[in-house]
Amino acid sequence: MDTGMEVFIFLAYAAGLLIIFLLAKFFAFSGKIIFKIVVNSICGGVILIVINLIGAGFGVHLPLNLITGFGVGTLGIPGIVLLYLVS
């Protein structure tokens, strides 16, 4: 994977987190809920990378592109489950 694509994936994660923050501000969620959503999104991104690194030996690969990065950045771990079920 080239560096340019990795930048776009990072931007997709960042955009997902930004949307979460904006929605939280708009609907005035408490800080505890925002923290849980952000932690879920970060865990989702890390797990996606780990699945691709470890799963390569087992033939498991989840694609990394703007759409999957945005989905996992927005949904977190449920986004990974959804991505796995779809692919």
Per residue in 15-67, pLDDT (tens digit) is: 888 888 887 777 765 667 777 777 877 888 788 888 888 888 888 888 877 78
Report pLDDT for 29.
59
Mean pLDDT of 2-20: 78
**pTM metric for this prediction:** 0.59
> Which pLDDT score, from 0 to 100, does residue 3 have?
61
The pLDDT, as a whole number, for residue 16 is 83
3-state SS record for the chain: CCHHHHHHHHHHHHHHHHHHHHHHHHHCCCHHHHHHHHHHHHHHHHHHHHHHHHHHHHCCCCCCCHHHHHHHHHHCHHHHHHHHHHC
Q: How confident is the model at residue 1 (pLDDT cuts 50, 70, 90)?
A: low
Q: Who has greater pLDDT, 14 or 24?
A: 14
